[in-house]
A and B are shown apart, each in its own frame.
Chain A
Amino acid sequence: MAYFLTHEIGSLAKPEWRVKVGRGLPFTQKDIDDAIFWGKKLGLYHEPLLELLKKKALTEAEKKEVINWSSRYALRLIEHAGIDLVYDGEQHRSEMYQHAVANSEGFVFRGLVRSFDNKYYQKAACVAKPKVKKPWHVDEYLNLKKLTNRKIKIPITGAYTIAAWSFDEYYAKKYAGLGSSKSLAAREKARKQFILDVARNLLRPNIQKLLENGAQWIQIDEPAATTIPSEVPLFVESFNESIKGLKGEFSVHICYSDYNLLFPHIKKMDRCSQFDLELSNRDSKKLGTKDSDRPGYEILKQFKKYNINSRIGLGVVDIHSDFIESPELVRDRILYATKVLGDPSLVNPSPDCGLRTRTWDVAYQKLCNITAGSRLAETEMEMTKLR
C-alpha cells in the first residue's frame, strides 16, 4: 500500500512570549494564557514554562530556557498534526539569511536595503574569504534530537542564496575596471568563485558537522535559485559542491520562483533526493484530478519529461493565505501529482514553504489537513486498485 511521507518545510511563527524574550519586553497574562492553551492542546507538561513567564526579569540562562520551550512547543505542534518528518519551526533562528551570515566569518552587515514598500532586510557584504565562525545549527539539532523520536529534516540556507543576497566587496576587487570586456569577464569569474567558496567553506563544513552529530536529512533552502536566469547552472554547481564527499540525504527547497528555468540544468543534481516546491499557491481551489483542475502542478510534467527521478516535496497548502485547504483538496493534489509522476513513492506532501506568516491556529489546521489528505489519497489509491 502506498504511504505518502508528510513533512514540514522550516519556519513556524514564534509565540509572542518567545518574541518578547528576543526584544527584552515584559510578559503579560495573555502570554501565560497562550502558553497554557497550547500546552494543553498539545499535551505538553508546561508548568516550568509558566514559572518562567511569571517572572519579572529573566537571567540569560532562563531566556535560553524560554527559547527551548518555544522549540519544544513548535516541534510538538508539528508532531501533533501527524507530520512524519519534523523540525522545530526554526524557533532558535532570527531569519534565514541573517542567522547564517552572523555565524560566519568574512561578512559585515552594511545596513538596511528595501525589499518592497516599507519592508527592509539587513544586507551584508562579503569582505574576506568566507569561513564558519560557529556551526550554524548543531546546537538546535542536538536539542531537538532529545525531544523527538521522529525523523528530523534540518533546513539550512543554501550557498547560492547567501551569495545572491550579499554584496561582494572581496572577490569583486579583482574586476579589471570599467567599461571593458575584460572587466566583464573578470566580474563573472569573481562571482563564480564567491558562490563556490560559500558552498565549500560555509555550507559543506556546516552540513558535515550536522552529519557527524547524527543528522540524516538536510534540506538546502534556495529561494534565490532562479533569480538570475543565466546563473541557474551556477546554483546547480553550488549545490553539488555543498554536499561533495558527504554521506546523507539531501533535498533542496525552492519557492516563489520560475521553475521552468531549472530545466535541464537540475539533471546534474543527481544527489538531490527531493525537490521541495511551492505549488499550491499557483493552483485552483476546486476539487479534481484533471489537468484543468490542477494548473499549479503542471510543472511536474517537466520533471517527468526530463526524467528526473528525485522525489517531489509537494506543496499542498498555501502559506500566504488563511484559507484552510480541505483534506479532499489535499488528496486531489496528491493524486494528480502521483498520476503525472507515475509513482506514489515520488510524492511527499508538505506546505508550500515555512508557515511562519500564519498564526499557530491556521498553521496547525493546515498541517493536520496535509496528514488527513495524505491518508485519503492512500485510501483512494487502494480503492482504485480494488475496482
Chain B
Amino acid sequence: MSKVAAFIHGVYPRSDILSQTSRDFDRQRLTLSDLEKQRRKDFDELIKQQKASSFELLEDGKLSWQDIFRPIVESTSGMEVGALTRWFDNNTFYRQPIISGKLKLDSKKLDKFFLSTIDRKWKVTLASPFTFAKLTEDTFSTSFEKTLDSIIEIYIELLAYLETKKYHFVQFNEPFIPYNKLKKSEIILFKKSLSKLKEVKRDFVFAVSGYFGNTAELVKTLAESDVVDVLGIDFVTTPLSSLPKKLDKDIIAGVVDGRNSLLEEKNVIKSFVEKAIKHFGDKTIYLSNNSDLDLLPETVAKEKIKLLGIVRKEFAK
C-alpha cells in the first residue's frame, strides 16, 4: 500500500534576526557567542516546526553553511574556495570550489557542520557528486571524469564520517542535470560514479533529487540503479506524464516551490498526490520542497513546512 510521508531538504533560510546577527558578526559588532546563540534559536525553531508537522525525518537546516559546498571545500586539502558564482539562474551566489592538488578530507574539520549525536530520525542533504564536480574548477586533473572520480573519493570518506555520526538517510541534490537538460548518455557517467559508493552503502538509504528543470531523464536513468533507493522529482518543472510508471523506488515529490513565495493551495497538492499514487503504485511518497528553501525568506519557508505537514496529515487519516 502507498504511504505519504513528508520532510524537507537542503539549506534552510536564516531568520531575519540571524541574518542581521551574522552581518553584525562580520562587522565585529557582535561576538561569536552572540552568533551561536541566535543560530541555536533558529535551529530549535526549525526542529519545532518539523516536529509539529510530524515529519518522518528531520534536517538541521545547515544554518552555519555559507553554501552547499563550503564545509566540504574547507575541510579538504587540495581544494580551495574560489570566486563568487551564480547559483544556476538565481539571484544567489556560491563560491566556486577549486581543485588545486590531490584531495584529502580532514573529517575533524567537519564536526562544526554536522550534528554530533543523532538517531535514525535525522537525514542529511549533500550536493550530488555530479553537480559538485560540474561546478568545480579543476586545475589539477585533465578531464571531467577524473574530477568526478576525485569528488567521489572525497564522498566515500565523507560517508564514512557520517556513518560514525549515525546518519542513515543521505539525500544527494542534483540540479545540474535537469537544469542543463543532459541526455541519458551524459547521465550514465553519474550513474557509474554512484556505483562506486556501493562500498560504503551498508545501512545507508541513498536518495538522489533533481530540480531546476525536467527531472524525467534523471529518473529514467537511475530507475535501475542498485545504489539509489529514493528518487526526488521537481514537480513544479516535471510533468507526471513524462515519468515511468510503477518505479521500483520511493519518491521525494517536490511539491512546494523553493523559489516562489506564493503558498501552494492545499487541494492542488492533494489532488496531485492522488494522481502520483496511481502513477507510481505501492510506494512511499515523501512530500517535500523542490529546491532548497534558502531562496525564500524564513517566514515564508516556515509556512511551506506547515503546508507540507497539513497535506501529509490528510493522507494519514
- A-B complex is real: yes
Given contacts A110-B299, A114-B19, A120-B23, contact A179 B91 (CB under 8 A): no
Give Cα distance in the complex from A280 to B90, angstroms: 25
Closest to B27 in A: A118
Q: Mark B36-57, 1 if CB is under 8 A from A, else 0.
A: 0000000000000000000000
A184 interface hit (Cβ, 8 Å) = yes
Take A113-B92, A118-B22 as given contacts and tell me if A125 and B261 are in contact as well, using a CB distance cutoff of 8 Å: yes
B93 touches A115 (CB 8 A): yes
How many Å lie between the Cα of A118 and that of B23 in the bound state? 6
Establish whether residues B239 and A113, one from each chain, have CB atoms under 8 Å apart when the complex forms.
Answer: no
Interface mask (A98-136 → B, CB under 8 Å = 1, otherwise 0): 000000000000111111111111010100000000000
Q: Are B297 and A112 touching (Cβ within 8 A)?
A: yes
10 residue pairs from A and B, CB less than 8 Å apart: A112-B19, A114-B19, A116-B94, A117-B95, A118-B22, A125-B262, A164-B91, A177-B271, A179-B238, A187-B236
Q: A116-B92, A118-B19, A169-B260 are in contact. List 14 more A-B contacts (CB 8 A).
A: A112-B13, A112-B297, A116-B66, A117-B66, A118-B66, A119-B23, A120-B19, A123-B297, A125-B261, A172-B262, A178-B236, A178-B264, A179-B275, A229-B89
Query: Which of under 10, 10 to 19, 20 to 34, or 35 or more describes the interface residues of B?
Result: 35 or more
Taking the nearest CB of chain A, how far is it from the CB of B296, in angstroms? 7
Nearest CB to that of A121 among chain B residues? B91
When chains A and B are docked, how far (Å) is the Cα of A311 from the Cα of B238? Answer: 42
Q: How many A-B contacts if CB must be within 8 Å?
A: 99
Q: A147: CB under 8 A from chain B?
A: no
Q: Are B14 and A114 in contact (CB-based, < 8 A)?
A: yes
Specify the main secondary structure of chain A where it touches its partner: mixed
> In the complex, A164 Cα to B259 Cα: how many Å?
11
Binary interface encoding of chain B residues 82-118 relative to chain A, with 1 for a CB under 8 A from any of its CBs, else 0? 0010100111111100000000000000000000000
- In the complex, the chain A residue whose C-beta lies closest to that of B267 is A177
Residue A169 contacts which of B84, B240, B261 (CB distance < 8 angstroms)?
A: B261
**Cβ contact within 8 Å between A113 and B238:** no
Question: Is B284 part of the contact surface with A, judged by Cβ < 8 Å?
Answer: no
Chain A, residue nearest B271 (CB): A177
Q: Mark out the residues of chain B between 294 and 309 whose CB falls within 8 Å of any chain A CB in the assembled complex.
A: 294-300
A165 at the interface (CB under 8 A from B): yes
A residues neighboring B (CB under 8 Å): 110-121, 123, 125, 164-165, 167-169, 172-173, 177-181, 184, 187, 224, 227-229
Q: Is the CB of B89 within 8 A of A228?
A: yes
Q: Does B315 contact A (CB under 8 A)?
A: no
Assess the A118–B272 pair: CB atoms within 8 A. Answer: no
Q: Which residues from A are CB-within-8-Å of B237?
A: 184
